[in-house]
Amino acid sequence: MATRRQMLCLMAVLPALKLVGCGSDAGDPAACSPVRIADDHDCALCGMTINHYPGPKAQACLRDGRVLPFCSVRDMLSWAWQPESAPRIRVLYVHDLSRTDWDQPADEAYVDASHAYYVVGHQRRGAMGHSPAPFSGQEDAQSFADAHGGRLLAYAELDWETLQAADPGGDPMGGHGGHAPRHGH
């Protein structure tokens, strides 16, 4: 089992991993874009149908060109923070709530997860309960926090303990039983 220090080191090099890969466009996020979420898409972590639920969704573009959709930002982070997932990631995308709404996030409104501001501990619920609310604009994130509670964090400040603390009354495993990450970052 990896120590917290090992996980912090892994997460520190994750942005650099985007620059390494096979092929000339492996480090180019534009070479891998989010896909339209259709009714037949299931969450790559929990297997739940993605559409028909409120809250921001997320997608992971992999080095092999595949795109994995997730029913929530929390699920995507839970998957991405697994040690075996990190080397496979080209870029992570989250719905940009600066450009779309909570109840029906638009397929055209994604932002690179590492560039977003997140509100955690807010009162809104998504597909699997509490999930960080991502925004491309810091002022938009602060307005959301003012209206719905919570606190503002940068991507680098997110970790598993913060997500658990943000939803103290909820399922500590995010509704996934044994699917929670084995390690924080």
- Long-range Cβ contact pairs of 94-97 (< 8 A, separation 24 or more): 94/56, 94/57, 94/58, 94/134, 95/56, 95/57, 95/58, 95/134, 96/134, 96/135, 96/136, 97/56, 97/133, 97/134, 97/135, 97/140, 97/141, 97/144
pLDDT value for 24? 39
pLDDT at 164: 86
pLDDT of residue 30: 53
pLDDT of residue 170: 54
pLDDT by position in tens, the chain (length 185): 444 444 444 444 444 333 333 333 445 555 789 999 888 889 999 988 898 889 999 999 999 999 999 999 999 999 999 999 999 999 999 999 999 999 999 999 999 999 999 999 999 998 878 899 999 999 999 999 999 999 999 999 999 899 888 875 554 444 443 333 333 33
Would the pTM of this model clear 0.85, i.e. be above it? no
